[in-house]
Amino acid sequence: MRKCGKCGGRLRRTHRTFKQRFSYMAIYRCRECKNIEFVPRRYQLHFGAACRCPKCGTFRVVRLKERDRIDPLHTGFLNLLEKLAGGKLHHCRWCRLQFYDRRRLASEIAAAAPPVAKPAATTPTDEAKSDA
């Protein structure tokens, strides 16, 4: 039984519209506070502002200058679309997976955003180095 993220009440699975079926595995509604929770489908990882691994969803990916000969390249229709749309080659160090993505890295977005009063959670310094 899933619980409401707001009030801890019991969630009830609700009917999805035709359009929502494409985006969500399930949609739950809280009986108590009417809060709605969405369970996104996996390909939703391709949406959003920052580049992330299509397999594990981490934001800690690096951009590659050229294709790595050892690690596999993500095979998938969406990956192909990303490449055709001008996506750059990225690499997930956890999955050892290469993939194409058009979006900026989360560290780049954080760097572009106005400074927030909190210590940096990511360390982009090791990713900025190139071995060219």
By CB under 5 A, name the binding residues for Zn ion: 4, 6-7, 9, 30, 32-33, 35, 53, 55-56, 92, 94-95
| Closer residue to Zn ion, CB minimum distance, 72 or 123 | 72
Least distance (Å) from Zn ion to the CB of residue 21?
24
| Closer residue to Zn ion, CB minimum distance, 22 or 39 | 39
Query: What is the CB-side half-sphere exposure of residue 58 using CA atoms within 13 A?
Result: 14
Least distance (Å) from Zn ion to the CB of residue 8?
7
* Cβ proximity of 40 and 34 under 8 Å: no
Helix (H) or strand (E) holding 25: strand 24-30
Phi-psi category of residue 129: left, alpha or beta, with phi > 0 → left and psi -120 to 50 → alpha: beta
| Closer residue to Zn ion, CB minimum distance, 30 or 106 | 30
Least distance (Å) from Zn ion to the CB of residue 18?
26
| Closer residue to Zn ion, CB minimum distance, 9 or 124 | 9
Least distance (Å) from Zn ion to the CB of residue 57?
7
Query: What is the CB-side half-sphere exposure of residue 29 using CA atoms within 13 A?
Result: 5
Residues near 39 by beta carbon (within 8 Å), at least 6 away in sequence: 24, 25, 26, 27, 28
